[in-house]
Amino acid sequence: MTDNSQKSGTGFAAATPPTANVITTDTEGLSAGWIDLDVNGQTVPVYRAQPAGQSDLPIVLVISEIFGVHEHIADVARRFAKQGYLALAPQLFVRQGDPSTIADIPTLFRDIVSQASDAQVNGDLDACVAWAARNGGDVDKLGITGFCWGGRVTWLYSSHNPKVKAGVAWYGRLAGDTNGKQTSHPVDVAPALRVPVLGLYAAQDTGIPLDTVERMKAALAQGSSGSEFVVYPDAGHAFYADYRPSYNARDAQDGWNRALDWFRQHGVA
């Protein structure tokens, strides 16, 4: 059963109270709100935003941080919709619980984030793509972008689904230990990756060492995806998250412009 609190589309996670920098994108000219997908009997809420009354739209999957789809992620979906995309942001933790209610990050990781398997996430995203194909989206113009936890998912889903034309990963984890639920990391799939992914990373990110970026570059060099990295020297983790103290307006805007250009360059837009 779906917890309706995960479908509000407003508010923020208890672990990250918003600052005064919050950007709000209106819904003028858009059709926006929650839809429900049935994935093997599980209802998965998805925040959807798109230009009203249009079809054959490019599709972008918007993957949340560890905090789930709160107001910032919904706003990012609206930002893409204003650019002409059908944007879908699924609640990928719906089976594990509501991440917005948990105030401390270690508990959030232990009880919710670590329990969402890569296979489950890929299956939910496959269902989003299938829904988009039936509801005005052009699956030949499929992109994916994600932040933090969603950045890692961006790399992995780009490896999983060959229909993805391009991805943009914002400061997602690249390497680490594996287990029965998290069976691989981006560095593991990089040599065989065929989808061009743009990695937007931060030199001051204490959670993602730059040596893992270098490892990822070396792994990508073994393949032919055409993926690239931009590392912002003055930015820290979550520099795009305008609702957090980590927000870096200059680098966030540059990253957004690069993301849109990357999608255009690789046939998503």
Indicate which residues carry an active-site annotation: 148, 205, 237
**Cβ atoms of residues 12 and 55 within 8 Å:** no
The enclosing H or E element of 165 equals strand 164-170
Question: How far is it, in rounded angstroms, from Cα 199 to Cα 186?
Answer: 11
With CA atoms as reference, report the closest residue to 203 among 173, 228, 171, 174: 171
Contacts of 246 (CB under 8 A, 6+ apart): 236, 237, 238, 239
Burial 101-124 (b: 16+ CB within 10 A, else e): ebeeeeebeeebbeebebebbbbb
Cite the DSSP H helix spans in the chain.
71-82, 105-111, 118-134, 149-160, 186-189, 210-220, 249-265
C-alpha–C-alpha distance, residues 93 and 114, integer Å: 10
Which one-letter amino acid corresponds to residue 33?
G
